[in-house]
Amino acid sequence: MREISSSITFEVEPNETVPMMIAHSTRLRVSGACVWVTRSNDIEDYLLADGESLVLRRGERLWLSVCSSKPAQVAFSAPLARSAVARDWFATQIERLAAQWRGGWRTV
């Protein structure tokens, strides 16, 4: 198993407005109900239905609110840095070589 992204999930209740500051470029994915998204430095507002996503820019501010009477889950996920992906690839290759020497057993 390897981590391919880092994610955080929040639940937004009806009649609640949640302000967010985006520290790193990330993707916002919505589930459960539609979410109204207002972004700083953007004249457009976004209405994201269940299952839709939006790519967010580092440093922008968001205001999130639910468009229905049931709560919505919003997940923010950021891909790992290239250095972390490369480090994971090397670790996997070393593990494969070590598994050959251990007769196929993995160490936990």
Tens of pLDDT, residue by residue over 16-26, are 999 988 877 78
Each domain of the chain, given as residue ranges in start order, spans: 5-101
**Cα separation of 16 and 31, whole Å?**
16
- Three-class DSSP labels, 44-80: CEEEECCCCEEEECCCCEEEEEECCCCCEEEEEEEEC
**What pTM, to 2 d.p., does this model score?**
0.67
Q: Are 19 and 63 in contact (CB under 8 A)?
A: yes
Each residue of 71-95: pLDDT tens digit?
Answer: 999 999 876 566 655 666 677 777 7
Helix (H, G, I), strand (E, B) or coil at 88: helix
Topology adopted by domain 5-101: Jelly Rolls (2.60.120)
Report the C-alpha gap between 85 and 88 in whole angstroms.
5
